[in-house]
Amino acid sequence: MSLTLEHATDRPARLRAAWDAAWNRGEVDALDAVLSPGYVRRRGPAGTAQDRAGFKDSISAVREAFPDLHTEIEDLVVDGDRLAVRWRSTGRHTDTFMGVPPTGRPVEVSGATFARFDGDTVTEESVTFDSRQLLEALGIITTAHEAAVDADLVKGVHRKFITGVTVVTTDDDGTPKGLAVNAFSSISLDPPMVLVCVQRSSSTHPALHRATHIGINILAADQLDVAKVFASKGTDKFAALDWAPGEHGAPLLDGSAARLEVEIGERLEAGSHTVFTGRVVSAGHSELAPLVYSGGGFFDISQTAPLPW
């Protein structure tokens, strides 16, 4: 039996009911029950803001172009006044959309929405999705063809790039969670910002997606065992380790070469991964040499010869 707004009393159920009514049945006025009159929606960091009426119009426009549109909520988390939703939409393009005449093509787009409640209704929301998926499906861009480079060749290229190894962690409602990540980079120093890329298939991913803060532990050369634990799918990867929560609650591993706590800013859906960007809110490093990862192997940097320059 489908949920009706009258019977949906708690926030997640009311949101799911309104979402289903608006996106899947085109009953956009159902959103009035869950979005405040002053509601504002933003797409991406630089996206233009939409008000409630504008949002409803855009749903109607999408549904006109994709009449069999089906949007599924894959995960919905309410934490106090904050809301996170992971969603996936499918539909066939049978009417003009973004100036593109009907292509008849099936389209699939996934993304995430982060919102804030004021009382019983949502006042602001930011949405992120992989627009490349949509643009490619409509034939507006053709990166799939241009990027049709053999995957093994690309892998071979990546093996030439040397990285360290980090363990990205979060406190998931009292349970420490984490995985090994070498896709870590500094973005800027002022303000101090970094990013990590995490595959959506990782069992740590949902916890990271709902987190406000993450820990990034840069492993030391003698922490190969730790790297192996966090590159596996164990249920309690922290059991045999010494660790403690940082100032902002993210699990920090003893004996790492350096560590950061990061307040998550953007969660960008890109290909099979989510790119988490954020602001560094605590930092520390030791004298220990970092563990090095290159060409699928691990190395101790203190054994390498420095080059003069």
30 is an interface residue for ligand FMN by CB under 6 A = no
202 is an interface residue for ligand FMN by CB under 6 A = yes
Q: Which position among 109, 138, 198, 252 is part of the footprint of ligand FMN (CB under 6 A)?
A: 198
Identify the DSSP state of 67.
Answer: T
Site for ligand FMN in 228-257 (CB under 6 A): 230-233
CA atoms 236, 238, 244, 250: torsion sign: negative
Q: Are 180 and 227 in contact (CB under 8 A)?
A: yes
Whole-number minimum distance, CB 231 to ligand FMN, in Å? 3
18 or 168, CB closer to ligand FMN? 168
Under the phi-then-psi rule, with left for phi > 0, alpha for psi from -120 to 50, and beta for the rest, what region is 104?
A: left
199 is an interface residue for ligand FMN by CB under 6 A = yes
Sequence-distant (6+) residues with CB within 8 A of 278 are: 193, 194, 195, 214, 262, 263, 264, 265, 266
180 is an interface residue for ligand FMN by CB under 6 A = yes
How many residues sit in the footprint of ligand FMN (CB under 6 A)? 17
62 is an interface residue for ligand FMN by CB under 6 A = no
The window from 54-62, 88-96, 198-206, 251-259 that contacts ligand FMN (CB under 6 A) reads: 198-206
262 is an interface residue for ligand FMN by CB under 6 A = no
119 or 296, CB closer to ligand FMN? 296
Binding site for ligand FMN (CB under 6 A): 165, 179-183, 197-199, 202-204, 230-233, 293
